[in-house]
Structure 1
Amino acid sequence: MATTVVPKQHVLAIISVALLAAGGIMIETAMNVTFPKLTQVFHTSLNNIQWVTTAYLLAVTVTMTTSAYLTNRFGARRIWLTANLLFIGGTICAGFANSLAILLLGRVLEGIAAGLAMPLMFNLVLSLIPKPKIGVWMGIGAMVISLAPSFGPTYGGALIETLGWRAIFFTLLVIPIASLLLGWHNIAHVAKQNKHLSFDFIAFSLLAIALITGLLVVNQLETGRLNILFLILAIISVTAFIYKSQHSQKVFLNIRLFKSQTFTLLLIPVTFYMFANLGLSLLIPNYLQASAGTTSFLAGFALLPGTLFGAFLSPYFGSLYDKVGATKLIFLGNGIFTISLLGMALLTHRLGFILILISYIIFTIGRSMAFSTGMTAAVDQLPIAQQNDANAILQASQMFMGALGTTVAALFGSNRGGIAIGLNQFLWLLFAIALLLFLLFWLQKHLAEATK
């Protein structure tokens, strides 16, 4: 039993990083309820304003792809300190922004900070927590990721109605300060594992170009046309990245992990849960304000009870994973997730504040159960030497799909028939995806049984 005891210093180290990760994720969606206001302040469209979130998520995604290298090269303490300083600088920059361009710059700096903090949180869990408790602590990490995005609109809605949108940034500075105070004596100077590692800048640049141009292709669909140049550039970049990664002697992402069918078949659903979560986190608050006539605060608050249920249940789902494994939890979670989407899609035009609040509780419980279980199982079944790379791929893929979810949701929200129709169409899209996820889970289960 002694081997399952987690030292207090390790607990506080993980919490200090989790605080910064939570702050980064919360600010990601806190601005969503301000979009109607920001379109007036900066005299632009919703599709342009959504880049306040999308640019942030792209910065997070691109930074996360470097996390495995940075962990091996510089160690936890340097990464944590850098993330805190970048978050403080980006938050101040965004808070004082007098143009959309300056606001986006601040958001990108915050995104880089969050892109360092989130993988670091999971890397610390995998390296500091005894294996018998991995499920619980990965569940706690999933709780952070699940709680913050939907808590953000409530936080943002409360401040925009009282102190204004700039206060959303300034009051958030308490988080990096708390992280620094809590972690200063608990995050140790981890020795560099290999100071001679050579980073593959070419592979990194190719992947960054592919991610950015891929999102631009989707974003510009609002104009009714397909940007062939960006599409070709995205395809060429991702193809060149794959080739370079397979033939390079330098370090970046170990994409050979995709040869693990179990890892790949769990990675795909986990990323789609993030796609659904962030897409609805954008559409629901704006739908409630535009169609149901609720205030900014209530529009954001509608997501909070469900978020609390799903988030605080994540460690419990993790403990169940330690006891019964992944299969039953994944199928049950995706079943609840699917039913909630079907209900909201069928009742979209009757959805008011109360019905959305209840529906979102059911949605988040199912999503959190499948999300946290799938994420843990995807990494836990790999050798320890591959887990940092697996975590980097997992986190970066989630954030890219989150950015894609935000972009696609904004396109649906810009529907000429109104945001209610856009929300309904997006819900049916998510329902169709949820049904396909059952097939992926069945394939993963079949392959796992075949290899026993």
Structure 2
Amino acid sequence: MENKVSTKNAMAIIAVALVSFSGIMAETAMNVTFPVLTRYFSTSLNSIQWVTTAYLLSVTIMITTSAYLNKRYNTRYLWLASLIFFATGTLVGGLASNLPVLLIGRVLEGLAAGISMPLMFNLIVQLVPRSKIGVWMGIGSMVVSLAPSFGPTYGGALIDTLGWRSIFFILLIVPIISLLLGWRTIDNSEETQANVSFDVLAFGLLSVSLITALILINQLENGTVNILLLGVTIVSLTGFVIRSLTSKQTFLNIRLLSNSKFLFLLLPVVLYMFANLGINLLLPNYSQKILNTSSFWAGFSLLPGTLLGGILNPYFGHLYDKHGDKTPLLVGNMIFGISLLVMAYFTKNLGIIAFILMYMIFTFGRNMAFSIGMTASIDELSRDKKTDATAILQSAQMFMGALGTTVAALYGAQKSGLAVGFQHFLWLLFFISLVIFIMFFARQKTGNK
């Protein structure tokens, strides 16, 4: 029985994963609504992309608190809090009559995902036997990687039929399903640390640096650098690092970044998230505006690759359990890089079917390296460091996802046009794949699993 996951534990993990999956799916489902929302709210694409960026930023900031939250509060309390945030945010988003209200709804949904995502991975670490950790971390990675790609298909189908508000209203069934699965399976039996103190100053400094960094990058569309924002970002980030290294209060244990094996997996994992959310923003918009497809087909362009990656993620985890991480990481990144090279070089010659096929190859390679990289980065650490590692991984992923969305929007808004901007962004991602190879080889020199 030691090598099996009980039905109760599996249902507990799924109940939490549902909130994470639905929140992320709603985030990218909104990408295909951007042309509609720009007309509805009479604003620009660069303003509308904050529907995605605000969500990712709130997820990122909330995830940074997860190490503290998991020590201070029990799993059941955190799970119920995430359900309340998700239901409230989804309702607010569906009823929004203007852009600021829509952003408030997205922020509340982001807080829900910011609680549930690290909670899901922490549950996997706590409840799953060591011999099955790869498969179940693969399932967790599937939630993180599958949802962003599945969202555009979900959104595209609804916006052509029931309208953009239905994207939110239909998701209100998720808290109900999660309650049914988790009410009797998620308990509050684990011990908590009532005397642990939260480092408010470190949290505030990091939050300020993340917010100002994204705003700074977003304003590059104007062709100038906001010196004030740049100064605030640098000062607050520096203050955060100094505070984290000297404070005895609980927040993020950034000393983990001195572990080169962890660092050389963390960076590729977050760069894969940057690539995934960036291309998920531009490809549906490129399909609609350049290839003249419908909203449904724009969203559908991501679905086959999404399903392929989702189905194979547990298998990638099985590969890790049996053979370790060295070869799958290199093979996955090679496939990832080749797909980007082909799409970047032949952008103007590819139709919707060709892009669908290339996105399938892109997702196959990315998911293989992403899933195994995230599993190995946590699995190699001692148990007392896993919660902090999960918090760092998840918060960095979400920030890089927000950054990917922001940068992709800037490329899409280039004066030379969306077609050229999309191609330039693909070349950027290809260059990133080469950098990732360097990091994987550097990690191998420090020793392997």
Query: Normalization by structure 2: what TM-score?
Result: 0.99
In the alignment, the residues of structure 2 paired with residue 417 and residue 172 of structure 1 have an alpha-carbon distance, to the nearest angstrom, of 38
**1:256, 1:262 → 2: CA distance?**
13
Cα displacement (A) at 1:120 = 0.5
Residue of structure 1 in register with 2:355 after alignment: 356
1:46-125 aligned within 5 A: 46-125=45-124
Q: Is 1:380 aligned with 2:379?
A: yes
Alpha-carbon distance between aligned partners in 2 of 1:93 and 1:351, rounded to the nearest angstrom: 39
- Structure-2 separation of matches of 1:207 and 1:351: 42
Match of 1:179 in 2: 178
Pairs aligned (count): 449
In structure 2, what is the equivalent of residue 423 of structure 1?
422
Asked if structure 2 preserves the Cα contact closer than 8 Å seen for 1:77 and 1:190, the reply is no
Q: After superposition, where does 1:164-243 map in structure 2 within 5 Å? A: 164-243=163-242
The CA deviation at 1:193 is: 2.2
1:175 shift after superposition:
1.2
Match of 2:149 in 1: 150
Shift of 1:180: 1.1
Deviation, structure 1 residue 351 = 2.0
Aligned AA (1:114) = A
Q: Note the 1:261-410 alignment, pairs <5 A.
A: 261-410=260-409
In structure 1, distance between residues paired with 2:209 and 2:176? 35
* Displacement of 1:8: 1.0
**Residue type of the partner of 2:185?**
N
Question: By how many angstroms is 1:153 displaced?
Answer: 0.4
- Extract unaligned runs of 5+ from structure 2: none
**Alpha-carbon separation, structure 1, partners of 2:434 and 2:237:** 28
Rounded to whole Å, the distance in 1 between the matches of 2:425 and 2:173 is 36
- Deviations along 1:385-420, one digit per CA (max 9) or x if unpaired, are 000000000000000000000000000000112111
Q: Residue 123 of structure 1 contacts residue 388 of structure 1 at CA under 8 Å; is this kept in 2?
A: yes
Q: Partners in 2 of 1:325 and 1:28 — Cα distance? A: 33
| 1:122/1:141 contact within 8 Å kept | yes
Structure 1 counterpart of 2:142, one-letter code: M
* Distance (whole Å) between structure 2 residues aligned to residue 397 and residue 28 of structure 1: 17
Q: Percent identity?
A: 57
Q: Shift of residue 192 of structure 1?
A: 3.9
User: Within 2, Cα distance between the matches of 1:236 and 1:192?
Assistant: 38
Deviation per CA, 1:64-95: give whole Å up to 9, x if none.
00011101100111000000010000000010
Amino acid aligned to 2:425 = F
The amino acid that maps onto 1:422 is G
Partner SS for 1:107: helix
Task: Mark the runs of 5 or more structure 1 residues left unpaired by the alignment.
Answer: none
How far is the alpha carbon of 1:352 from its aligned partner?
1.5
1:321, CA displacement in angstroms? 0.2
Shift, 1:6, TM fit? 1.0
Amino acid at match of 1:8: T
Alignment-derived partner of residue 163 in structure 1? 162
Report if the CA contact (8 A) 1:31-1:153 is conserved: yes
State the SS of the aligned residue for 1:4.
coil
Deviating beyond 4 angstroms after TM superposition, the runs of 4 or more aligned structure 1 residues are none
Q: Which amino acid aligns with 1:448?
A: G
Q: Which amino acid aligns with 1:140?
A: I
One-letter code aligned to 1:296: S
The one-letter code sitting in structure 1 at the alignment partner of 2:199 is D
* SS of 2:81 mapped into structure 1: helix
Once the two structures are TM-superposed, the CA of residue 421 in structure 1 deviates from its matched residue by 0.5
Aligned AA (1:380):
D
